[in-house]
């Protein structure tokens, strides 16, 4: 069960919030909190395919990130896309 199709939008948004991506540019993951996404993935049956997850995030409409107000997702669409494009592993995607 490593498919992203098995994760709901709410589960993915919870993962993003947990990882600190809810506020890009403001969240800084320090060593004690690195890899906080691992227990989240374990709770849903395992780590999803990274590349599929990253590509899925690139395809999301901007409202997926701004639905709770601009103060909750201060990054521009361009900043978000650059982050998703640059990430090559879970650590790069979820930490600053």
Model pLDDT, residue 27: 46
Rounded distance, CA 28 to CA 58, Å? 22
Predicted pLDDT at 38: 84
Q: pLDDT digits over 10-66, tens only?
A: 677 677 666 656 554 444 444 445 677 888 888 888 888 999 989 998 998 888 888
pLDDT for the residue 51: 93
Q: Does the structure show a pLDDT above 70 at 3?
A: no
Q: Domain of residue 17: give its range.
A: 4-94
Whether this prediction's pTM lies above 0.75 is answered by no
Contact call for residues 47 and 41 (beta carbons, < 8 A): yes
- The Cα–Cα gap between 58 and 37 comes to 19
Domains: count for the chain: 1
pLDDT for residue 34 = 61
Summarised one tens digit per residue, pLDDT across range 54-91 is 999 899 888 888 877 777 777 888 988 998 899 898 88
Measured between alpha carbons, how far is 80 from 77 in angstroms, rounded to an integer?
5
Helix (H) or strand (E) holding 13: helix 9-19
């Amino acid at each position: 069960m490593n498919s992203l199709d098995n994760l709901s939008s709410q589960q993915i948004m919870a993962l993003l919030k947990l990882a600190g991506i809810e506020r890009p540019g403001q969240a800084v993951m320090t060593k004690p909190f690195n890899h906080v996404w691992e227990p989240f993935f374990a709770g849903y049956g395992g780590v999803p395919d990274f590349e599929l997850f990253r590509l899925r995030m690139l395809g999301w409409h901007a409202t997926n990130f701004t639905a709770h107000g601009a103060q909750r997702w201060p990054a521009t669409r361009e900043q978000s896309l650059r982050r998703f494009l640059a990430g090559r592993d879970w650590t790069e995607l979820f930490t600053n």
